Structure 1
Amino acid sequence: MMKTLDSLAMKLLPIANAIGNQRHLQAIRNGLISILPLTIVGSFFTILLNLPIPGYSEMIAPYLAALDVPFRFTVGLMSLYAAFTIGSFLGNTYKLDKITSGFLSMLATLLMVMPINLQEGMDTAGNAVASGRYIPITPLGSQGLFGAIVAALISVEIYRFTKEKKLEIKMPEGVPPVVGESFAALLPTLLVILVFWIPRHFFNFNLNDLLSLAISPLKVFLTGNNIFGGIITQFMICLFWALGIHGHAVLGPIIRPFWDQAIIENAELFQNGTSAFQLPNIFTEQFYQWYAQMGGTGATLALVFLFLFSKSKYLKQLGKLSILPGIFNINEPVIFGTPIVMNPLLAIPFITVPIVNTILVYIVTTLGWMPKMMVKPPFSIPAPLGALITSNWNWVACVMVFVCFAVSLAIYYPFFKMFEKIQVEQEQQAEQEDSAAVSEGI
């Protein structure tokens, strides 16, 4: 078994390194992580509007429009913010000016979603609007995330091309660097405008809609209601971790845009009055955090709990050190301290438990007994509270956390006992050797 894991690790490690070190994927991952404060704080306003307090809805009714503003200008504009951060990170890898890279990415995103053929005071649907042009907010939310990503990547590549070919206006020496960079960005700005403005406004080419159509099958598979997508996602993340490869770092650049789009789509629909039971996406990142991966990847909180009552001195001490981080979904101490990495005995439940939990909660959700997730709180919130917050305070969701924990304990237990036996024997042997060494010394 160990040889199989070693062989698999040797084959997957080059692939994982290639993905993890690819500059465009790194920029996407870092850019999306950078907007977490906006999406998390924006989600709290969704929670604020839906507190389970009798008479609360009537009390805040006069202020609903005002209370909705923070959500709309954080979560509702996530694509615009993501364009800036992704462009900045990618530009930095090319040693380009980060601010210029971010601004060009935002410019491209806005040009891509701007309505065309507007009459004075009238939109394309014939609805009256304030005189002049306007920017719709919907494509700048979750719907436009992949368009923003592509716009950011193309814009920075245009900027890089002009730099490499020295197609820029150079100012004399002695001019402040900020001024020099501004003039150097004139040509790439013009090129970005032409590349995104002409197709959109002269040929009615909607890149955002085309991308949404192209990725919709993959989105539905990974984050919609397809149980096979949920299983594969869990299997791959846990397998990489079991081989000593950071699963989220490898798969994050690929799947995180889908996760973010799924939870924001749920949040926007819920904010607009859709029942939490009727939301489209089951497999959001929050689904995995609070149910499948309680305590961190591999649902290791159950294993840490078993360690607390272990006959092995080392495992018991490791359990004491890991229980508090585990409650807050941080499990590197137990993954590397046990270790679970390259450990055939514990790798089996480490991979199996999240998959079983995923299937179990999927069945309960599809039966209509509990709602889908619709806000994005911090990952470090303990599972029962996290499940309550993200499910619109549904008690069944909270109960399912404890059901999943019990299932995790049941699956981990026989493997834990086998591993504990080996660990106890090693400790006893070490004690005997130490005692023999002391006796010989006397």
Structure 2
Amino acid sequence: MKKLMDFLEKYFMPVADKIGNQRHLLAIRNGLISIMPLTIVGSIFVIFLNLPIDGYDQMIAGFRPILDIPFRFTVGIMGLYAAFSVAHYLGSSYKLDPLSSGLLAVVGYLISVVTPVRVTEDVKNVISAGNYLSIADISSTSLFGAIVAAVVSVEIYHFFVEHKITIKLPATVPPAVLKSFEALIPAFVIMMLFWGLRYGLKFDMNSFITLLVSPLKHFMVGNSLFGGLLTVFLIQLFWSFGIHGENVLGPIIRPMWDAAILENMDVFAKSGNAHALPNIFTEQFLQWFVQIGGSGTTIALAILFLTSRSKFAKQMGKMTIVPGLFNISEPLVFGTPIVMNPILVIPFILSPIVLTIVSYIATITGLVPMMMAKLPFTMIGPIGALMSTNWSIPAAILNVVNILIAIAIYYPFFKIFEREQLTIEAKADAEA
């Protein structure tokens, strides 16, 4: 075990660290995380529209179109927000004006994915003649197109600024005006590029990118058990070395996670059936069924520590049980520590793998629904599972059952750890 960990630390971790800190991947991760409040609020309205109360649908029937608006203007146009936020962070990393970076990305993105619809005649009480944009074009279905548009737009902007191909104005001109004129030539080039691709060459960038990433998306966050297990294993492996697993994988997998849950939310908003959604392995699946109490299902270890005869373990249990209830595992992971601990790192990796298999079986057999909402990760486990699956009581029960399974997996390793601590404490008492 020690030789394996030494090998991984020497050869694998440096590569992972470089990937996690790569400029473009970091901008994608931070950009998508920054729009999380919008997806959470949109999710709350999806939940609110589907409360499990008899007669509730009839009661809100007249207000449903109005109540659906917050969802449509958050999750429904998520691609637009993603294009701006990713470009904002990437532009900032190049020390470009973040606002100009975001705006240039938005215009490039809109030109590349949205085709105005021309209505020539009025339709009474429905629509007037004119040009219209479909918000379906800028929803989660074009999330990958938004990311690519953001990266390409900022790189063009950076190229022109770095080579000083910009309009020069006197230093006495206000900074806001200077920045606007600095972005003028890049804006023209970006608009012509995306316009030429979309309407000159008839190239649908978003469809092409979606086609390219769809095999990886279906493997990592779709319904592939092997893909789900690989994701969980890598997250736990990074954590075992003290590296935030989600942060390392986030730049690669977060766009797919976000696209998956947004796709689920959109399908659920139309069908109302949480058992027939496109994606099982969303981030929320891991949050509420696998990484309960934080990465490694460490709530189980915190509970065991509370029962320990070791003074150190019992104290750790008291200190970490409350953060664990809110899915914060760092105090336990680094305080025990689990990091680089050959005893506790085994159940730390094994528990999530076992729970992934158990939860996958429960999902495909229809015992629990799929995830149809995105809630704050600090939600207490059973409540988060209940609300994220359209108020499914079996999902809340599965959350509790999984904690019990994790306790059983951790138990023999906990006893070994406890025995070691008792020996250390007895030695210290004898010396005292």
Displacement, 1:12?
2.0
Q: After superposition, where does 1:106-125 map in structure 2 within 5 Å?
A: 106-115=106-115, 118-121=117-120
* Counterpart for residue 399 of structure 1: 397
Displacement, 1:291?
0.8
Displacement, 1:120?
4.7
**d(CA) in 2 for partners of 1:97, 1:231:** 41
Q: After superposition, where does 1:244-283 map in structure 2 within 5 Å?
A: 244-283=242-281
Task: Report the secondary structure of 1:166's partner residue.
Answer: coil
Q: TM-score, normalised by structure 2?
A: 0.97
**d(CA) in 2 for partners of 1:11, 1:334:** 27
Pick from 165, 168, 183: which aligns with 1:167?
165
**d(CA) in 1 for partners of 2:224, 2:98:** 39
Q: What amino acid does structure 2 have at the position aligned with 1:24?
A: H
The answer as to whether partners of 1:5 and 1:344 remain within 8 angstroms in 2 is no
Q: What amino acid does structure 1 have at the position aligned with 2:407?
A: L
* Counterpart for residue 381 of structure 1: 379
Is residue 2:255 matched to residue 1:226? no
**d(CA) in 2 for partners of 1:25, 1:175:** 35
Q: After superposition, where does 1:331-410 map in structure 2 within 5 Å?
A: 331-410=329-408
The answer as to whether partners of 1:6 and 1:342 remain within 8 angstroms in 2 is no
The answer as to whether partners of 2:40 and 2:376 remain within 8 angstroms in 1 is yes
Is residue 2:81 matched to residue 1:81? yes
Is residue 2:174 matched to residue 1:182? no
Displacement, 1:119?
4.4
Deviations 1:198-254, CA, capped at 9 Å, x for gaps: 110122110000111111111111111100011000000000100111111110110
Q: What amino acid does structure 1 have at the position aligned with 2:95?
A: K
Is residue 2:137 matched to residue 1:148? no
Q: What amino acid does structure 2 have at the position aligned with 1:214?
A: L
Task: Report the secondary structure of 1:133's partner residue.
Answer: strand
Q: What amino acid does structure 2 have at the position aligned with 1:293?
A: Q
* Counterpart for residue 314 of structure 1: 312
Q: What amino acid does structure 1 have at the position aligned with 2:120?
A: G
The answer as to whether partners of 2:30 and 2:86 remain within 8 angstroms in 1 is yes
Task: Report the secondary structure of 1:322's partner residue.
Answer: helix
Deviations 1:119-167, CA, capped at 9 Å, x for gaps: 4538xxxxx9643322221231111111000000000000001001111
**d(CA) in 2 for partners of 1:379, 1:139:** 29
Q: TM-score, normalised by structure 1?
A: 0.95
Q: After superposition, where does 1:29-178 map in structure 2 within 5 Å?
A: 29-115=29-115, 118-121=117-120, 130-178=128-176
**d(CA) in 1 for partners of 2:259, 2:84:** 17
Q: What amino acid does structure 2 have at the position aligned with 1:121?
A: T
**d(CA) in 1 for partners of 2:368, 2:57:** 22
Task: Report the secondary structure of 1:257's partner residue.
Answer: helix
**d(CA) in 2 for partners of 1:422, 1:135:** 66
The answer as to whether partners of 1:2 and 1:343 remain within 8 angstroms in 2 is no
**d(CA) in 2 for partners of 1:305, 1:77:** 42
Where structure 2 has 5 or more consecutive residues not aligned to the other structure, the ranges are none
Q: What amino acid does structure 1 have at the position aligned with 2:140?
A: S
Deviations 1:247-302, CA, capped at 9 Å, x for gaps: 11110110011110000100001001251101010000000001111000000000
Q: What amino acid does structure 1 have at the position aligned with 2:111?
A: L
- Bigger shift: 278-287 or 128-137? 128-137
The answer as to whether partners of 2:50 and 2:272 remain within 8 angstroms in 1 is no
Displacement, 1:179?
0.6
**d(CA) in 1 for partners of 2:13, 2:229:** 22
Task: Report the secondary structure of 1:16's partner residue.
Answer: helix
Task: Provide the aligned length of Structure 1 versus Structure 2.
Answer: 428
Deviations 1:390-431, CA, capped at 9 Å, x for gaps: 000111111111111111011000000011101110111111
The answer as to whether partners of 1:16 and 1:245 remain within 8 angstroms in 2 is no
**d(CA) in 2 for partners of 1:248, 1:22:** 15
The answer as to whether partners of 1:31 and 1:82 remain within 8 angstroms in 2 is yes
The answer as to whether partners of 1:105 and 1:155 remain within 8 angstroms in 2 is yes
Q: After superposition, where does 1:23-34 map in structure 2 within 5 Å?
A: 23-34=23-34
Displacement, 1:7?
2.5
Is residue 2:230 matched to residue 1:238? no
Displacement, 1:3?
3.6
Deviations 1:11-40, CA, capped at 9 Å, x for gaps: 222112211221101100100010011110
Task: Report the secondary structure of 1:91's partner residue.
Answer: helix
The answer as to whether partners of 1:244 and 1:341 remain within 8 angstroms in 2 is yes
Q: What amino acid does structure 2 have at the position aligned with 1:280?
A: P
**d(CA) in 2 for partners of 1:432, 1:121:** 92
The runs of at least 4 aligned residues of structure 1 exceeding 4 Å deviation read none
**d(CA) in 1 for partners of 2:57, 2:367:** 24
Task: Report the secondary structure of 2:418's partner residue.
Answer: helix
- Bigger shift: 294-303 or 135-144? 135-144
Q: What amino acid does structure 1 have at the position aligned with 2:228?
A: G
* Counterpart for residue 6 of structure 1: 6
Q: What amino acid does structure 2 have at the position aligned with 1:407?
A: I
Pick from 197, 201, 204: which aligns with 1:203?
201
The answer as to whether partners of 1:82 and 1:149 remain within 8 angstroms in 2 is yes
* Counterpart for residue 22 of structure 1: 22
**d(CA) in 2 for partners of 1:324, 1:157:** 45
* Counterpart for residue 437 of structure 1: none
- Alpha-carbon RMSD across the aligned residues, in angstroms, is 1.2
**d(CA) in 2 for partners of 1:265, 1:119:** 27
